[in-house]
Amino acid sequence: MSLSSLYGSISFSDTDEESPEKRVSALMTENEHLRSEVASQNFGRMQDWEMAEGSERNPINPVNAVAAGLEPSVPTLTDKPPFSFELKSEMPRDAKSTRRQHSLDEPKVTLDISDAEVHRRTGFKTKDHLLTYIFVVCNGDTSEIMRRSTVLTWFEEWFAHFEYKWGRTLSREIDLPAEYGPNMICMRKIIDDKYSLEVSALDRWPTYVSHEEDCKLRKSKWDEKYGKFEDESLCGCVYYAMNCFKGGIFIQLCGWMGTAPLWPGAVSDTDYNKRAGYMKEQHRFAKDDLVMVNGVQSYRAFLNIYDKGYRAKLVAHREGEQLVLQPDFAESDRRFNRTQTLRSASVASDRGGNERAVNVAKRSWYLKRGFQPHSSAKRLNHAWMTWSFQSNFMYDPIL
């Protein structure tokens, strides 16, 4: 509806007897009426256009609406409030979810945490060691120590950083928000900020310890000087070119097997036969285990079968006149005679059974892996002595 069409519907006659003042007043009233109708139509078109655009434009200001003669829209209790106190996620995938107010949560870790829990989760021996390191990293600046990157407490942020770096109880980034609360971005910022402080401290500190400090802080054991390991080390074995233990293994013809105690690897085979004590034990056992010969119980000495190279005849003879059987040794290209060949073959057959006994004695994984750092030599010797005894009840005779 245009102004021209509205004005065209009004006519005046020359014969109208009304006064000019009344005519002017009527025209002004009609003009105001027409202006009001045009404003209403334009506002209606604007509202239709806003609805067509999905109501993305801001609604009209209530003050302007009142000035324009429009009724302002007052929200009811069922309408959505104009402001929300929930933090909306900025990530597209989280458009329908809200973030928790983790500042209201109780701290996950506090300064009351035990030393055992600190050691389990961060690797520091005690809580004091952890706090001392933080103090060193921040150069004693309490503002740096207590500076936070998230809503977590300063101790929580440091603890989360050390726990993630230690990587025993918390090894994945996805575990950080699950354990401490803030999202991945916030937790990564914590890690990066703490690393930045540590790198700065690393740059401040000297790379090496001075000679004076090294001498004062080192343990007294480093003041000792050592020569060749085979001369100085109790466990150094020249034959194996390594540190080891040596232990004797015996097996009788019925298949019963046993072991003698472990000795340091520096001991020679000859010294082991002299000093290990199994010769004396065999002598005592033989004196009690009398054998019936021609109707008379008499002492029968042990027959010890050794491989070539063992010098045990004198030791065996001194302990109850025990016997020793070893393969014959042929010098140069001298050939064995019949007796020597049979004796050497017999020893080789018996020694083959002894090698199988050695295999059984080392089947235990605890023994096979060897002596580990910080292990107990006493416990290893107990395992060595008892495993062979246990094997007699586990396996069939190997001879």
pLDDT in tens, 180-200: 888 889 999 999 999 999 999
Q: Which of 142-156, 201-215, 275-289, 316-330 is least confident?
A: 316-330
pLDDT in tens, 303-319: 888 877 777 788 888 88
pLDDT confidence tier of residue 44, bands split at 50, 70 and 90:
low
How far is the C-alpha of 277 from the C-alpha of 281, rounded, in Å?
Answer: 6
pLDDT surpassing 80 at residue 232: no
Span 128-148, average pLDDT: 93
How far is the C-alpha of 164 from the C-alpha of 384, rounded, in Å?
Answer: 41
pLDDT score at 317? 84
**To the nearest whole number, what is the mean pLDDT of the chain?**
78
pLDDT surpassing 50 at residue 205: yes
pLDDT score at 19? 76
The label of the residue with tokens 């107010």 reads 101
Q: Which of 3-17, 270-284, 346-360 is least confident?
A: 3-17
pLDDT confidence tier of residue 359, bands split at 50, 70 and 90:
confident
Across the chain, which distance is largest between two alpha carbons, in Å?
A: 178
pLDDT in tens, 141-188: 999 999 998 889 999 999 999 999 998 888 888 889 888 888 889 999
pLDDT score at 325? 80
Q: Above pLDDT 70, what percent of the chain?
A: 75
pLDDT surpassing 90 at residue 256: no
pLDDT in tens, 46-98: 666 555 555 455 666 666 776 777 766 555 544 445 444 455 555 555 555 45
pLDDT confidence tier of residue 270, bands split at 50, 70 and 90:
confident
The encoded tokens of residue 67 equal 């000035």
pLDDT score at 350? 66
pLDDT surpassing 90 at residue 301: no
Backbone phi, psi, residue 247, to 5°: -145, 145
In 3D space, the residue among 319, 322, 320, 340 whose CA is nearest the CA of residue 331 turns out to be 340
pLDDT score at 3? 43
pLDDT in tens, 206-228: 888 888 888 888 888 777 665 55
- Residue 155: Cβ within 10 Å count: 20
pLDDT surpassing 90 at residue 138: yes
